Structure 1
Amino acid sequence: MNRQLIFTGYRALKQCKNQLGFLSTETLPTNKSSNPKEVTQQTAKFDEITHTGQAWDEADYRLQRFDENKKMVNPNIAANLISEQPPKAIKERIAKCDGGHPALGHPAVFINLDKPGTHACGYCGQRYYNPHSTKPEQLSIHHIEV
C-alpha cells in the first residue's frame, strides 16, 4: 500500500511539473554578463556604494540575491545629510544634545566644548562649537564625543 501511495504521489508531482514548467531542470537565461575567470583592475566593474561602504564587483557571488529583484541603494546616506548641517554655536562650555523629542530614542549627551574646533555628538552626529574658545579659522578641527 505504501508503494502505491508513493507511486501515486510521484505521478502527481510529475504531472504538476509538466503543467507548470517551472520545476524544469533547464537553466533559465540571465541578464548578467559572463563572469570573468580572474578579477583584475581592468575587468573589475563595481556596483553602487551602499551606506555601509560596500561596493561589490559584478562577478561577486554575493550579488546573486539581486538576480530577480533590482538592488536599490538610497543615495541619501545619513552621514552625508548630517555633514551638510552647519555646526551650532553654543555660548556655554557644555552642550546638551538630546536629538529633539525624547520619544525618538536619542539619549541626552553632554558635550564639553573647551577645546577649539567643532565637537560632534557620538549618537546623531550634530556638531557644536563654542565661539569663545574657537576662532573662525579653527572650525576645520573636528572632535567626536562618545
Structure 2
Amino acid sequence: MSIRSTIAMATSKFRFVQILGKQLKQTPIRHEIPFSTAPKVLKEAAAADLPTHTGQKWDESDFRLARFENASKQVNTRFAIDLIAQVPPKETKSRIVSCNGGGGPLGHPQVYINLDKPGNHTCGYCGLRFVKPDDHHH
C-alpha cells in the first residue's frame, strides 16, 4: 500500500501527520477553528463609556481602543478605594498605632500613626482607618 492510498483512506475522525519527515502517524482530529484574516469588531459601545479605576473615560474615536478590537474592554467596577471605605475605622485607646497591612507577603512596611488629633487617621499604604474615642484625647 502506497503513502498516497493510505492518505486517501483517512476519515474525518483521523488525520495522518508526518513527524520529522520520517514516518506517518495517525492522530485523532480535535476541534478545529477556522482561521480568517478578516477583522472582526467585537467591542461594544457601552464598554468604551465605563470609567476605569483611575477615572479615565475613553470616547469612541480614541486610538487606545484599538487594543480592544479582538476582545472586549473589561473594567472592574469594584474599585479598591470603594471597598476599603466600607471597612469601619478601628477604635483604639493608645495614642500611637502601627499598621502593616496584615503582615506577610501581602502586607506593606510597618508604619506608625499618631492619633493625638481627633477624627479618623488613615494609613497611607492600605487605607485602613484608625480612631481614638474622644474621651481618650488630651
TM surpasses 0.5: yes
Write the deviation string for residues 85-107 of structure 1: whole angstroms up to 9, x where unpaired.
Answer: 11111110001111112332411
Cα distance, 1:30 vs. partner?
3.9
- Cross-structure match for 2:89: 87
Aligned-residue sequence identity (percent) comes to 50
Structure with higher helix content: 1
- Cross-structure match for 1:96: 98
Q: Within 5 Å, which residues of 2 pair with 1:126-141? A: 126-132=128-134
Q: Which runs of 5 or more structure 2 residues have no equivalent in the other structure?
A: 1-34
Q: Which runs of 5 or more structure 1 residues have no equivalent in the other structure?
A: 1-19, 34-44, 136-146
TM-score scaled to structure 1, two decimals?
0.60
Structure with higher strand content: 2
Letter in 1 for 2:109: P
Pick the structure with greater CA Rg.
Answer: 2
Q: Within 5 Å, which residues of 2 pair with 1:1-146? A: 22=37, 28=39, 30=41, 47-132=49-134
Letter in 2 for 1:77: F
The CA RMSD over aligned residues, in Å, is 2.7
Contact in 2 for aligned 1:89/1:130 (Cα 8 Å): yes
Contact in 2 for aligned 1:91/1:132 (Cα 8 Å): no
TM-score scaled to structure 2, two decimals?
0.63
Letter in 1 for 2:122: A
The total of aligned residue pairs comes to: 101
